[in-house]
Structure formats: C-alpha cells, structure tokens
Chains A and B, each alone.
Chain A
C-alpha cells in the first residue's frame, strides 16, 4: 500500500544548494535518452531509411512543420530550441510511466522530472528569456515599443503578460503531469490490478500533447516577439 503524498522529494544539500535528487536523476536520464537516440540514429544514415530512421525523420518534419506553422519560413532559425524543448519534455513525461514504483526511496519517489515545479518553471523561464532576447536581436530597442503598442495606457497589461506567460506555461505542464500521476496513484491504492492501465495509456497521450502544447506556445511567443511591424 502506498501512502499518497504530493510534492515530496529526495532533498540533498550539495554545497549551498538544496537539490531534489530524484528530479535531477530522472532529468539526466531523459537527456541521456535523447543523446543516445540521436547518437545511434546518426551512425549509419542511408538514403532509403529503415523503420527507425524514417520515424525520426517524421518527427523532425513534424517539428519543422510546427515551427513553420507558427512563424513561417523565417522561424526556422528558432527551430533548434523549440525541438529541444519538445524532445526533452516528451522524454521527461514518458519517463514517468516506467515502473519506478518498484524501487523505494526514503523520501519521495522517482517519477517524471516534470512533476517538479522547479523543472517546469526553469523551462518556462528559458522560453521567456529566449523570446525577449530574440525580439531584441530582431528589432533592437524598437522591441520595447510593443509594450505601448495599441495605446500608451496598455503598458501595465502588456508588462503583466510577460509574467503570466511563464506562470501559465510552467503551471500547465506541472499540473497536468502531477494530476495524472496522482490519479494513477489513487487508482493503484484502490484497485492495484488492471484498473490503472487505461489511465496509464491515457497518460502516454497526455505526455505527447503537453510536449506539443509547450513547444507550440513557445513558438507562438517567439513568433509574436519577432514579428515584422507594418
């Protein structure tokens, strides 16, 4: 029988920092997974792709399509960060469905790194910094003119938007993943056999949707920040 706890982590102090070790380990596992997949797939590329290579090519085309849909051709230089965000979040979310519960920790337990608000807030702040930076690179200080854009008194609302965007990005990812894991945990506590399986399958779908949403919203923010003015 598992006890239901929310937001418990295996905390270690490394120097002056308090580190959530379970999140750290699973985040590194996700990164290792991405790097290994990329390494294996690019060893022997062929003109006529076999199954796995064509799957990866399909994924790349999907990501390019996502970026082009939000920003058009000019957005392709932003494709790497969008794709990295997508792949990391996808791997991180899918990782939560591995049978981590078989391994017991004293504090907390292994799960998706995205069920920790620190991970998702970090990702959202990366997006935030990136779109402001991209806007300044594109337009120089003219970027700040959009804060006063329709009329000057809209300034507080436009400024507020810069704070609500990372907030909603991080909370959406965190909330969806955490809620999914909680529901599975509750179902396991009630009836441990067979009943949680449909919910787990649904979580695989949610993992993909959330990664897509996060990267599509990031792309649309970057697209809005770098849009040509008329």
Chain B
C-alpha cells in the first residue's frame, strides 16, 4: 500500500473508533430515559429535554474526530 492509502485507511478507522464510545453512551442514556418515562409518564417533557442535552455532549465527541480528520487533511496534505 502506498502512503495515501494508509492515511485514508487510518482516517476511516479513526472515525469508526471514535463513534464506538459515544454510541454506547447514547444507548445507555436513551435506555435510561425510556425507563424514566415508563415508570413515570408525566415526566416525559423533562426527560426528553435532558436526553437531548446529554446526547448533544456525547455527539460532539464524534464531531471532534471528524473535525480532526479535516484538520489533518489540510495541515499535512494527507489525501
């Protein structure tokens, strides 16, 4: 493999790895929110609001990874 192919592969694997942790976290958070609403249906609006806030902070981790990739592309001219 030449350097360009290795760099592209590294980027793809990097983003995929970065998506694993937040994915698990979002699953746990969503499950907890569903549990909360099932136990106490009147708390639905509040639970949704908190869920959105929590998910947003997990989601930004993957976006940091994507951003790091584009930054690397421009800084080091990878591909």
Contact = CB atoms under 8 A, between A and B. Distances in A.
Interface of A: 6-7, 69, 168, 171-172, 174-176, 178-179, 209, 212-213, 216-217
Given A209-B52, A216-B53, 10 more contacts: A6-B73, A172-B56, A172-B60, A174-B63, A175-B63, A176-B63, A179-B63, A179-B66, A213-B52, A216-B52
A175 B70 CA distance: 11
B52 A7 contact: no
Given A168-B60, A171-B64, A175-B63, A6 B70 contact: yes
Interface centre among B52, B53, B63, B64 (most CB of A within 10 A): B63
13 contacts: A6-B73, A7-B74, A171-B63, A171-B67, A172-B60, A172-B63, A174-B63, A174-B67, A178-B66, A179-B66, A209-B52, A216-B53, A217-B56
Contacts of A69: 49
Interface of B: 49, 52-53, 56, 59-60, 62-64, 66-67, 70, 73-74
B8 to A, nearest CB: 13
A121 to B, nearest CB: 12
A171 B62 CA distance: 10
A216 B53 CA distance: 9
Given A6-B70, A7-B70, A179-B66, A171 B60 contact: yes
Contacts of B70: 6-7
Main secondary structure of the interface of B (DSSP, over half): helix
Contacts, number: 33
Contacts of A179: 63, 66
Contacts of A216: 52-53
A217 B59 CA distance: 14
A193 B62 CA distance: 29
Contacts of B63: 171-172, 174-176, 179
A209 B52 CA distance: 9
B78 to A, nearest CB: 12
Contacts of A176: 59, 63
A213 B74 CA distance: 29
A11 B56 CA distance: 32
A175 B66 contact: yes
A185 B16 CA distance: 20
A174 B59 CA distance: 12
B67 A213 contact: no
Contacts of A174: 63, 67
A213 B66 contact: no
B59 A172 contact: yes
A62 to B, nearest CB: 12
Nearest to B46: A69
A222 to B, nearest CB: 16
A11 to B, nearest CB: 15
A117 to B, nearest CB: 9
